[in-house]
Amino acid sequence: MTDAFVLDDDVAKPAFLSKERIIARPGFNRWLVPPAALAIHLCIGMAYGFSVFWLPLSKAVGITAATACVPEMGFFEQIFASNCDWQISMLGWIYTLFFVFLGCSAAIWGGWLEHAGPRKAGVVSALCWCGGLLISALGIYTHQIWLLWLGSGVIGGIGLGLGYISPVSTLIKWFPDKRGMATGMAIMGFGGGAMVGAPLAAILMNHFASAEGVGVWQSFVVMAVIYFIFMMGGALSYRVPPTGWKPAGWTAPVAKANNAMITKGHVHVNTAWKTPQFWLVWAVLCLNVSAGIGIIGMASPLLQEVFAGKLIGVDLAFNELSSAQLVEIAAIAAGFTGLLSLFNIGGRFFWASCSDFIGRKGTYFVFFGLGFALYASVPMLAHLGSLALFVLAFCIILSMYGGGFATVPAYLADLFGTQMVGAIHGRLLTAWAVAGVLGPVLVNYLREYQLSIGVEKAAAYDITLYILAGLLVLGFICNALVRPVAPKYFMTEAELAAERAHGEKSAPAASELEWSADPSSKPVAVAAWLVVGIPLAWGVWITLQKTVVLFQ
């Protein structure tokens, strides 16, 4: 698909998916755009919840128990074998591929997205993500794991990248007065996708499971159809403001000490990565995410091994618990993980909204300063046996992990301008890919080393937490070094006009560049928010039910 024009009675009309086709008209309600972004993010956010499929898929052949491959079968033979079950370690590659291709696709096609517009990017994202699920369903049906890697991992990962960054630039332009809150609303959906998708997948697998199959491929097909409807609805609902638009009555803030970081110019994506500010913010995101993602990966075993029998009222170490007691504390740990998910999601909206008042740089100072204090104090809280303070500390830590993702697009818009912020954000997401490897590897290998030298399980995480606290110190320093971008990096008026010419063939009249929402659009906006809000509320309710176990 291209932005070519089609001829009808000698009158050129923009193609249906072109950016020019979705330029909003006076009176358009900007509150219709966040639900469109949420519709896409809630679907692709299921990438976080894919582990719900691992156990059923690990016995797709044996049904009741895994059918092991013969010991002499090599790795490449297992890839094409259809008579024995996959190991969870092989399935886990899908998760790795998700975030590698998310970062790569966002970096490679971010510039294209700025020119093509969010509608086309959203449609391509839907085709890749949902098409990848269908290819994966075929892979499960034929028992070919390479089709899962290709379908969900590679093609689906590309859909993740395009879907993740598709609303960023658009929302920032629609909400110049609330940049942080706007991106927080959308990126909150990515964190909440697993809360909705994981219980939905469990329901579908239970429905389709039988003596002949575990019900996963059928679940993939149904979810692909549901997600396609939601994602297409979101993509087709996108609208972009005309260049120069602003909310009625709003004036850009005068440069002051507390908003000196907000630039008046615009930096091209191909220039942004040459600035020190880009790499400093890249390090800021990478270090914040590395610390947080390490905690996410070890949350359940950490709680179980640190508090062990105290979780169920007995003074026993983890190794002294019976099988029945281990099951009890595992259920409590699952509630802990669910609670962290809620704070991860809520933090995306809360901290990004706070950044509109205290500034993006100030918000990251809070992340790193408060985060350091919490990481450093957790070992002490664990040794004191204070479960409530231990849980509270990790909830705040995870809120700041999510908040880091939601705040960084607005940080980039402040530094580099809004014209190509989506593309710049796409390149910055390579920091996420690096953090996705650094954080879990650091945590897992340090834990194994501690155990190998005889450290008790309850104390095996202390050094790890202190090292994660050290990463936050580095992040604090990088954030402190961020300064406003030098004017020499800004696009000239001619270069900026050339960029803005993509998808906008005629300049709107001055009277069309400032408006309030048409009152008649309010019922439509309410309906749009209900469409995305009801599934999200259902996911939150399911998660809250699981967290109740933690407090019993």
Per-residue pLDDT at 4? 42
Give the residue among 15, 51, 529 at the shortest CA–CA distance from 337: 51
262 and 355 Cβ atoms separated by less than 8 Å: no
Per-residue pLDDT at 9? 43
Burial of 191 (0-12, 13-18, 19+ CB in 10 A): buried
What's the token pair of residue 259? 């908003």
**CA atoms of 245 and 248, how far apart (whole Å):** 9
Block mean pLDDT (10 aa), the chain, length 552? 41 76 93 96 91 88 86 83 86 85 91 92 97 97 94 95 92 91 88 89 92 93 97 96 89 63 89 96 94 76 82 84 84 82 92 94 96 92 85 92 94 93 93 82 76 77 86 96 94 88 64 86 96 94 83 68
Q: Where are the domains of the chain?
A: 28-66+80-248+519-551, 257-489
Per-residue pLDDT at 181? 92
**CATH assignment of 28-66+80-248+519-551?**
1.20.1250.20
Instruction: Write phi, then psi, for 210 (nearest 5 degrees).
Output: -155, -175
Sequence-distant (≥ 6) Cβ neighbours of residue 113 within 8 angstroms: 121, 162, 165, 166, 169, 422, 423, 426
CATH architecture of structural domain 257-489:
Up-down Bundle (1.20)
Per-residue pLDDT at 504? 64
> How would you write 374-409 as a 3-class SS string?
HHHHHHHHHHHCCHHHHHHHHHHHHHHHHHHHHHHH
